[in-house]
Structure formats: C-alpha cells, structure tokens
A and B are shown apart, each in its own frame.
Chain A
C-alpha cells in the first residue's frame, strides 16, 4: 500500500466514523483518535520518519490535506450535532399556540360615570369649572333661593324626600349653583357645571328612578345671552350625539329660569325624517334649559340689572339611554355585570 493510499484510507475511514457520531463527547473522542498526539495521523507521521526529504515534503503536503479534511468533517459534524440539539429542544418546547392566553383582568368604569366624565370634559374644554355640593341639602338652597317658595305649585313637579322641615335629599343639582353664586358674592362671573346624584319621590320603573344623576351648567356674566345658551346647547349636542345633529328649542317652565325651554336634538337614528325612536317626529327631547330667573340672581346676591345668565340641566341616565339605546333605567342601579361589562 502506497503512502498516499494509506492516507486516503485514513481519510475514508474518518468520513465513515465521524458521520455517525451523535454527541459532542463522541466527537471529541473521534478528534483524539485521528488528530490527537497518539492519534492515527500522528502514528502515520511517526512511520514516515525515515523518508527522504523529498518524500517528506510530498507526504507532508498530502497529510496536511487529510488533516484539513478531518478537521472540516469534525467541524461540520459538530455544527450538525449542535443544530440537532437546538431543534430537539425547540420541538420539545412547541405549544398549541391556539390555546387561550392568561387574561389580565381590566375592570370597567360604570357607564354613568363614563358619560359624566365625557360631559365634564366637554365643558372643561369650553372653560367650565366642575362644582359639587352635598346631597343632603337645606330647603332654602334646594327650593327657596331658586324661586320656589313654600307652597309653590311647581314643588309638585319634583316631589321630595324630606328629612326634617328644613332638610331634604336634593331634588336637583341646582343648589350647587346657589352655593356657588353665594360664594362668589355677586361680583365675579360664573361658569360652572354641577354633576351629582339627586333624589325624587318616584316609583322605580323602566323610565323613573328615585335616585338619578344630573348634570347642570350655569353661566352668569354681564353679557350672557339666550343666543349663548343656544350655541352652547348645539356644541353639546354635536359632541355627544354626532356632528350632524341640530337642536330645537320649545317653550317650557322651570321656576328658576325665564324664559325656560325644552331642548330637542335631531334624531340620530333617522337624522330627522322620523322613525320609531323619535316617534316619527325627527326630534328627541334631551334636556331643559333657560335664562336664569332674575329672582334667583337677586336671591343669590347678583344684581339682575348688571348680571344675566343661563342654566341647562340634564339627566345623565337619559343621555346614556339615548346614546347607547338602553331601554330601562333600572339597569344602571342593578349592577348586573352582563350590563356593566358592555361599556368598556
């Protein structure tokens, strides 16, 4: 067997044995077997120690080629084994990615508070301050200072829960307006909104609730006009019910405003042509408004020869019912999660 054949044989053997190694450990053994100090290549070189210089040169070249081949085979096999290991790990880690994940619970804010905040933000954007007041009120602030003396027939309109002769659960948030006017002392301009809970002697049914939430606005200044009120109402209607809404005012009566009016917003379902939601009229009654009665201004310390103002008020439940198509006011206070969770 010639030297070259011998070398070739080692190379062939390496190809065979290295290609079946499966672990890095075995691969290191193979490496030692071929390229180690006592390995086959070293052995072979020892055998060649008596060769001529010419021969050694030639053999050196040939053996280097085989060493390179073996090194390459080892490297390739190493990469193969490592890849295989990664693949096996990946295969073992594979998931049914279609199974549902672990849900992070996110709560919901009550829809009435969502609507209230939306209203607050709308009016804050127009420069209004949010004012609040107590729910247990004195008769003077809830009625008398609002031009509703005792025995006034309009007190029937909001039959109340009295606690004593002078104390009651407020029937509207208007006493907050009274408190603000008294606090401002008849000198400064006022631009406020008053959200809050109110109470009336109504039996609870689909459209009545003994407790509900009101949202009122009050502007008092030297040049506040009815047209300012109308413009504000339109802003409100567009923001809450859509840009293409229009409004309509109808005469009404509240003791604390004069003139007083009901405010209709064009039906968002049919756009005004008439449908079942607006009972064919094209309009939906949404809120009440008016110019502050001079008696109220005077009773609350504002000179009605200098100051004039407007007020508007709405039931938050009604707004929410119209906006979301809710058919029963009792839903708001039953707190059934199947209801609450619908408003995210």
Chain B
C-alpha cells in the first residue's frame, strides 16, 4: 500500500516529517519499505509561452520565448508546444531524475532550460501520457511551482503489509494507526449527497452465502471526463493509473476506504435487477481486460438476472464497462467471502486491487460509507445526479465482537508491569470502545480490525503502541538439561573424524533430476516425486547424498581442482528418510611436490578411511564382494559392508564408462547408512594395560588366488582362539616363486595372555594348529 502524505493529512494532522512517521510506523505498525517524494525534480517553474518560431536549422525543433517571471529562450522538440500555453519549465541548474539541465546551444541556437512532460519530471510512464509536453491549466501563475499546481508536491509512504492487516489497505486504515502512533485525533468525514427527486428502482437478490451484502446506487447524467489534477496525483501516488473520472472515483474511494466499488454502465445493463449467485459450470464471462473466462461453481457472479455482468469481487464485465459515452451508472458496493475470492482470483491468475482487499476481508461498516463517498464525488466531479435511495441486501452480522482482557493477564504474558492507565491510553489512541471494571477490560472490537480475535491479538496492540522498547530483558525460568542426543553427538564425531582424515564437507540439494535417481542405488527402490516441480532438474528426492557429491566433484574439476576428498552427512529419501554419510574421492590425496611424491587415491585408501572411521565408532563389520552391483560401479572394486549380516554401506570405484560420461577421473565413493547401523550403547570401560609380554610369530602361506584375505583372516582367528590377539598381513606376493594360480600371504601373529607370560612351546603348538586348520580349510601350504 502506497499512501500519499496529503491524503493521509485529511484524516490526521501529521505534524512531523513523513520520513519520521515512516520510522515510527515500522516500529509500531507495519514495515515501511520506503518514504519518497512523488518527484525529485528541482528548479522547475510555471512558464508562459510568448512566442514560438521554427528552428532555422532543424525541422522538428521550435525556438520558444518563455516568460518565467523573466524571459528565457528555450529550444523545444515537443510536437504539441504552442504559443499561449502555460507549461512546466526546468530552468538551467534544474535536476530531473538525476539529470542536470545546462545552458546549451542546440544546432546553433541558445537554449536556457527545458519544457517538460510529466514523465520527464520522474512520474512513471505507466501513469502519464508521454507523447508531448504537459500543458498546465490557463490560470496557473507564472513563476510558481508547477508541482503545487498539479498537486504532485506530495510524498509517498510505501507499506510492506503482512496478510493479517487488510485494514491498512486503505488511507483510512493507515490514518487510524497513524493517529494512534502520534496520539492525535482522527478526523472522519460524512459524505454530503444531494439526492434528486427520482427514486432508485432496482432489485437486489443474493442467492449465495459467498456474498454477504450488496449495496447499490444509481447516478444519472454523468459526464465522463478527465479527473482533476489533485485526484490524478493521488492515484499516481497510490500506484493506480488515472483513466477517467468515473473509474478514477471508484478507485479513489476504494483506496480511501478499503471498500472496492464497481461501476456498471446502466444503459448496457439490460435489466433493472442484480442477482448475485455462484456461476454455472459451463458459464463464460468476458472480463474488462477483454478475456473470456471459463467459470466454475465456486465463482461468484453478479448478473442482471440473465447473464453474468461481473466476476464478483474480482473484475467487472466487458459488456457493461464504463466508456466515454457512459451517462447512466449503477454503483456497486458489496462484501464477498474472502476464501472464495482468493480461490477464483488465484485460479484465473487475476489479482486485482479489488480481489486483494476482499481476500483479506473488508470492513462491512464501510460498505455504505464508500457507496456514499463515491456518489458524493460523482455529484461533484462528474456532474452526476444521485437518485434517491439505496438498494441493498445486508446479511453481515454487524454486531461488534467483544474481547475480555485482564490487566494481570497482560502483565504475566508480557513480563512488564503495565498500569491501567497504560492500557487505557493504548485503547484510546486506537479509537477502541471499551468498558472497564477495576482491572478488567471488555473491548468491543471494531469491524475494521478483522485481525483482532483473541486476547493475544490485543496484547500485540498494547505492546506495539506502548512500545516494544519498554519490555524488559529476562531469560526463561524453565530449568532444563540441554544437550545433544547420542545420534547428534555421533554425527558431530563423524564430521570431526572425516575432517581429520582430510575430507571437506559439502551440503547439496535434496531435489535432483529423475534421470539420476538410480545412479547409485541398486534396485528399483521407491522414490518421492514432487507434484509440481519448478524444473526437471529438481523433481525427485535423491536416494543418496552421492548425487550432490558427484555434482560438487564435477563443479570443482571443471574449475581445475582435480584433487578432491568430499563428504556429506545427509538424508537418503527412500520409503523413509535415513541419515547417511557419503564420500567421493579423486586425484592426489597427499603430496610433497618438489620430491615428486604424489599419493593418488585408490581403493585401499578409501577402505582405510572407512575402517578407521568404523573402528573409532566401535562398529564391527564384515566386508564382502557383492554378486551384482549397480551398473555405474566398477565390478572388481566394490565392496559391501555388513554388520551382523545387515548391509550398512559400500565402498566402490565408479565404472570407467560412468567416469568418461561425466568427465571424471578415477573416482571412489562410499556410503554408510547411519540409521541402519547398530551402535554400541554402553561406554567402553578401562582395561588395565598389558603387564605380560606378547609373542610374535611370522608365517607365510601359499593359497589359491581366489581365496580372499578376509577368509584367511577369519580362518586364522577361529583357529587361533583366545591367545591370538592380533594378525597383520605384511606381504602379498604373486609371481615366479609360487604357482601361476597361487599367491603367497605373509602374516604376523601376535599371542598374548592377560594373566601370565606365555611359554614358547604353547605358542608354537598354537601356530602349528593354525597352520593345520589353514591346510584343511583353505588348502593353504606353508611357504618356507
């Protein structure tokens, strides 16, 4: 809502600079987006064109002698400049929309200023004619300020309204809050209408509950013409384009009262009755903008008893539109159901000044006021004759609602020790009617304030008008033990560990392109798709954060950063949301460049990270090569991770084809689904540090190449029993010293007993047993 300073001053005496009111308004009412002058033009005066001659050297230019109190010569290019006109002259030194007027020679002829159009003064093109200079009324005083003549010497306060304060979509509404803020009296006017001797003969029928009231007046002998300058200036200030006096008056009154009005050309109306009903399913109406609108049963239509003549509350009909020949006007002031208006206007994408107000709810007590105010203006500005009487149906409950509120409630709610006087002065400032019994107030809520329903709503009124700055600063007395849950703590730990392993954290989008949905998931898992995505690229919820990680990888590689180690802790969206930690690694991970040491990531580098991570989280897992993987994974370098036979994640290399397709180098990925892991709940108790020495034995065995390391280790562990504390593989060999299909594995076995020092013989015996089991179970041979 944009509010003219002059307009507002008709209702409240604003005795401070408008900008200052804007600041107060922001703090006590609604956010003010800005306060600005209608035009910033300086050094402009009314001039009288004394003579006009053709420019000797330019066809389209005229050389004008202009009296601005003293004579000046101005070269003017406007086609409509004529001798005898009163015009707007920008003198040398004037600044128009940031552009300075200088003394100049135009094609050899001296020019000392500029004759202006309104657009050149800074009034937006959408409000004014730009085809030539603006011609002022003949009686304008030479040398005076043309902005004053045109009432453009005004300022605008632009409000950023929240949806609850529909009352502020009117100058009157803003005036109520302004009066409260400045603690000034509100000046309301009663329209003065002189009705003619002819009685209105018009029937109103309302056939839907979605129209709560309908008031109409008839005005005859209307003379369509331009509106006076002051009216146009106010519409421009409010951001509405002036059209003609009749249309302008309905807009003006809507802006002033918040009540939308509609004027029908009664000569085109055919009947003498209005029937308000809901539309039939196959009905069509051509609206003012010339478009045919297909209607639904939810829409409200104003009909002449036969066909729709307006889309109720949203837009008038084309067939009954006011035009330059209109003489006979039916003026409507009605109230409609906000939800219905909202549905219709959003379905048809028809957001008008009118629908915007009805959606937020208008004051039913201003319906008649607005009708009369507009009639008064028709009478004064369009030579209209107002027929006597009003046709109306009123179904609104016009009784004021009451809210009871106690002083102690206010004090306990806010935490500030208000007095009865404090509360009364707020209610008085807001022009609320109330009664008080001791410390208990009963307010009768004005119909203009649809947002006031509960005690809490009244508290807001008290707090904002009395001042937020007066509220003290305290902290909640609620005692509680704050903290993170174990899963939150664990996520922080994982984040810190991966950071320590040199990985950088990213956060990526959850919504991805459907084409990429199964890039990393194995089977046709369920997915979550948006009903109305904004773009194909963001239409489904990802199955894994790996999608975003690959995007981040690609983004950085494209910017010449090829050595990357990224992770994300985020949700997988399958049948349920599951928290996962994922990573992608590519390129060199450790380097000492001048020594030529570059350690590129490989499978075991990534596996080491996962092993360290899981060991730090006390999660014991088994690794197994999957029988079948996603097509984008390298079949020979992918491992599944199991905890108690439940799949909890994987490590893998991307398939060379996928890498090539995505301009990636060798890339390794991993995923651990945190919500699928069973974490140890009890804490690790201290174990006394080993007192007795351990014994180490190295063995080397030869096995078939198909035998996996994990099988070897599992077999040894089983055979090693309690005394075997640790196994390390320290060499893997294939080559001429072993058979073609064989490999040699060298292992270090560590034996230990907490209670005593081990005997050499028993360790030897144990090692022999292990070797026997290895021979038996995996056909291993001891290598010597």
- Residues of B with C-beta under 8 A to A153: 163, 338, 342, 359-360
Q: Using A223-B477, A226-B416, A333-B508 as known contacts, list a sample of 10 further A-B pairs with CB atoms less than 8 Å apart, ordered by residue number in A.
A: A107-B565, A108-B499, A124-B483, A136-B541, A157-B163, A191-B482, A210-B534, A221-B477, A336-B556, A337-B556
B397 touches A (CB below 8 Å)? no
Report whether B476 and A191 are in contact in the complex, using a CB–CB cutoff of 8 Å. Answer: yes
Q: Is the Cβ of A250 less than 8 Å from the Cβ of B31?
A: yes
How does the 8 Å CB contact mask read for B493-535 relative to A, with 1 for contact and 0 for none? 0010011111111111111000000000000000011111110
Does residue A231 face the partner (Cβ distance < 8 Å to B)?
A: yes
**Given B464, B538, B548, which contacts A259 in the complex, CB threshold below 8 Å?**
B464
Interface residues of A in 195-216 (CB under 8 A from B): 197, 199, 201, 203, 210-211, 213
CA distance A333 to B529 in the complex (A): 21
Interface residues of B toward A: which range?
Answer: 35 or more
> Are the C-beta atoms of B505 and A107 separated by less than 8 Å?
yes
B482 touches A125 (CB 8 A): yes
Q: How far is the CA of A294 from the CA of B409 in the complex (A)?
A: 14
Are A226 and B471 within 8 A (Cβ)? yes
Is A44's CB within 8 Å of the partner chain B? no
B488 touches A251 (CB 8 A): no
Given the interface contacts A197-B510, A225-B414, A293-B456, does A231 sit within 8 Å of B163 by beta carbon? no
Mostly helix, strand, loop or mixed at chain A's interface? mixed
22 A-B pairs with C-beta separation under 8 A? A103-B590, A105-B590, A107-B502, A108-B499, A109-B499, A123-B482, A124-B483, A130-B484, A130-B488, A162-B531, A163-B529, A189-B478, A211-B510, A226-B414, A228-B415, A248-B27, A250-B27, A253-B165, A258-B460, A259-B460, A259-B464, A336-B555
Q: What string of 1s and 0s marks CB contacts (under 8 Å) between B364-405 and chain A?
A: 000000000000000000000000000000000000000000
Residues of chain A at interface, number, CB under 8 A: 85
Q: Does A241 have its Cβ within 8 Å of any Cβ on chain B?
A: no
* B737 close to chain A: CB less than 8 A: no
Q: What are the residues of chain A within 8 A of B556 when measuring CB–CB? A: 335-337
Which chain B residue lies CB-closest to A134?
B577
Contacts of B747 in A (CB 8 A): none
Which of chain A's residues have a CB closer than 8 A to the CB of B511? 161, 199, 210-211
Give the Cβ gap from A40 to chain B, nearest Cβ, in Å: 55
| Interface residue ranges of B418-474 to A (CB < 8 Å) | 454-457, 459-460, 463-464, 468-469, 471-474
A337:B476 contact, CB within 8 angstroms: no
List of A residues within 8 angstroms of B343 by Cβ: 151
A87 an interface residue at 8 Å Cβ cutoff? no
**B559 within 8 Å of A by Cβ?**
yes
> Which residues of A from 242 to 288 have beta carbons under 8 Å from B?
248-253, 258-262
Tell me which residues from 162 to 196 in chain B have a Cβ below 8 Å from any Cβ of chain A. 162-165
Q: Which of A120, A164, A197, A252 contacts B162 (CB 8 A)?
A: A252
Contact in complex: B163, A232 (CB < 8 Å): no
Q: Nearest Cβ distance between residue A93 and chain B, in whole angstroms?
A: 16
Do A259 and B459 have beta carbons less than 8 Å apart? yes
Candidates B476, B534, B577; contact of A136 at CB < 8 Å = B577
Within A316-344, the residues touching B (CB, 8 Å) are 332-338, 340-341
State the CA gap A113–B360 with chains docked (Å): 40
Interface 1/0 per residue, A44-84 and B, CB below 8 Å = 00000000000000000000000000000000000000000
Q: Is the CB of B531 within 8 A of A308?
A: no
Question: Please, how many angstroms separate the alpha-carbon atoms of A107 and B484 in the complex?
Answer: 23
Pick from A102, A110, A124: contact of B507, CB under 8 Å? A110
Judge whether B530 and A110 touch: CB under 8 Å.
no
Write out the residue numbers on chain A whose beta carbons fall within 8 Å of the beta carbon of B460: 251, 258-260
Instruction: Report the separation of the CA atoms of residues A228 and B412 in the bound assembly, to the nearest whole angstrom.
Output: 11
B164 & A253 in contact (Cβ 8 Å cutoff):
yes
Interface residue ranges of A145-168 to B (CB < 8 Å): 151, 153-154, 156-157, 161-164
Q: 4 closest Cβ contacts across the A-B interface?
A: A105-B502, A227-B415, A225-B415, A253-B162
Q: Are A108 and B505 in contact (CB under 8 A)?
A: yes
Q: How far is the CA of A306 from the CA of B415 in the complex (A)?
A: 16
Bound CA span A105–B531, Å: 44
Q: How far is the CB of A100 from chain B (nearest CB, A)?
A: 7
- A106 interface hit (Cβ, 8 Å): yes
Write out the residue numbers on chain A whose beta carbons fall within 8 Å of the beta carbon of B479. 127
B566 in the interface, Cβ–Cβ < 8 Å? Answer: yes
A167: min CB distance to chain B, Å: 8
* Chain B nearest CB, measured from A255 CB (Å): 8
Does A42 belong to the interface (CB within 8 Å)?
no
B252 at the interface (CB under 8 A from A): no
B28 within 8 A of A: yes
B474–A203 touching, CB < 8 Å: no
Docked CA distance A31–B30 (Å):
106
Q: Once the chains are docked, how many angstroms separate the CA of A259 from the CA of B551?
A: 43
| A194–B504 CA distance with the chains assembled, in angstroms | 25
Whole-angstrom distance between the Cβ of A273 and the nearest chain B Cβ? 15
Say yes or no: A127 contacts B481, CB within 8 Å. Answer: yes
A99 contacts which of B477, B541, B594 (Cβ < 8 Å)?
B594
- Bound complex: CA of A210 vs CA of B323, how far in Å? 46
